[in-house]
Amino acid sequence: MKTSELIGTTLKIAVAKADNRQIRKGMGGSIEVRGRTEDGDELPEQWDLWMNWNPATNWEQGGPIIEREFIHWSFPATPHGTSPTIYLAYQYQKGIAPMKGPTPLIAAMRCYVASKLSDEVEIPKELM
C-alpha cells in the first residue's frame, strides 16, 4: 500500500512495523502490540503484556513518536473561521516529503512510516 493512503488498521500495523513492535491481532479484530518499559525496552518474555494500538487516534501513543522523531505539522491556509480539513506532517532533518492527513496524528504517523519504511508498505494479510 502507498504510505500516503494508510488509514485505520493498515496505518496501525505500519506504525507498529516502523516502530519495531511485536504485533498481533486482538479480540474483535483490534491490533495489539507487546508492551515496553518507559525507556522503550522490550519487557521480559514471561510478561505477557499486550495493549490496544491506536497511535493515529491516541495522543498517548502517537505523541511520544512525534516528539522522539521531531515530526512537525501544519495545515494549508484555510478561509477565516473555518477548520482545516488537511494537515501536513514533515520531518525536516530526514528530507521526507510532507504527508497529508485529515488529522495531525494521521499525517504525522504517515510521515513516521515513510521515514522508517518507505513510500510503500507491505501489510501482512493475517493481520487484516
In this model, does residue 92 exceed pLDDT 90? no
Q: Which has more pLDDT, 43 or 68?
A: 68
Distance CA 124, CA 72 (A): 29
Place of cell 522522539: 68
In this model, does residue 73 exceed pLDDT 90? no
Beta-sheet pairing, 72-74 with 87-91:
antiparallel
Residue 68: C-alpha distances to residues 43, 91, 110 (Å): 20, 11, 15
Flag the least confident range among 26-40, 74-88, 108-122.
Answer: 74-88
Ordered alpha helix ranges (H), 8-103: 8-18, 59-69
AA letter at 112: Y
In this model, does residue 95 exceed pLDDT 80? no
Domains of the chain with bracketed CATH:
3-127 (3.30.2120)
pLDDT in tens, 8-55: 999 999 999 999 999 999 888 899 988 877 777 777 777 777 889 999
What is the number of helices (H) and of strands (E) in the chain? Answer: 3, 6
pTM to 2 decimals?
A: 0.87
DSSP track, 47-63: ---EEE--TTT-HHHHH
Distance CA 45, CA 67 (A): 28
- What are φ and ψ of residue 83, in 5° steps? -90, 145
Q: Which has more pLDDT, 96 or 4?
A: 4
